[in-house]
Amino acid sequence: MLSKKMQDAINEQIKNELYSGYLYLAMAAYAEEQNLPGFAHWMKAQCQEEVEHAMKFFNYVTERGGRVELKAIDQPPVEFASPTALFEETLAHEKKVTALINGLYELALEEKDYASQVLLHWYIDEQVEEEAHASEILETLKMAGEKGQALVMMDRALASRGE
C-alpha cells in the first residue's frame, strides 16, 4: 500500500503529466497554424505519450490500493515565437519533468517504498530519452535554420515519428 505522502506526490505527478500532454497539444495547434504538419504530428505523438505516462501512474496508484485524486490542469501557452522556440520550450519542459521525477524517486527512497522505486526507474530512463530527443531536434533546427528548404525538410522528418 502507498503511503499518503507518496500517493499525494504521485497524484500531483499525474496532473503534471496531463499538463505535459496539454502543452504538447497546444504546440501542435501552433504548428498546424504555421502550416508545419510534421511538427504538429510530432507534438501530437508527444501528447499521447504524456497521457500514457499519466495513465501508468494512475494505474499504479489504484493497483497499490491508493486513490487517484485528479487536480486542475493549468492552461498552456498558445503562442510560440518560432519552430525553434517550440523545441526550446520542449527541452526546458522535459528538464523540469526530469526534476519532478527525481523528486518522486527521492521520496520513494525516503519512504522505503521499493515498488515505487522500481516504477520510477522506468520514468527516469524515459526522461533521459525525452531530453535527448528534444535536444537533438533543437540542435538540428539551430544548425539548419528556420527558413526555406531546411524547415521543410525538418518538417518532413518530424512527420515520420512513429513510422
Domains of the chain, start order? 4-159 (1.20.1260.10)
Asked whether the beta carbons of 137 and 159 are under 8 A apart, the reply is: no
> Alpha-carbon distance 35 to 133, whole Å?
22
> Alpha-carbon distance 48 to 78, whole Å?
18
Taking only the tens place, the pLDDT of each residue in 125-149 is 999 999 999 999 999 999 887 777 8
* Cα angle for residues 96, 98, 100 (degrees, 5° grid): 75
Taking only the tens place, the pLDDT of each residue in 80-116 is 999 999 999 999 999 999 999 999 999 999 999 999 9
User: The pTM is what?
Assistant: 0.94
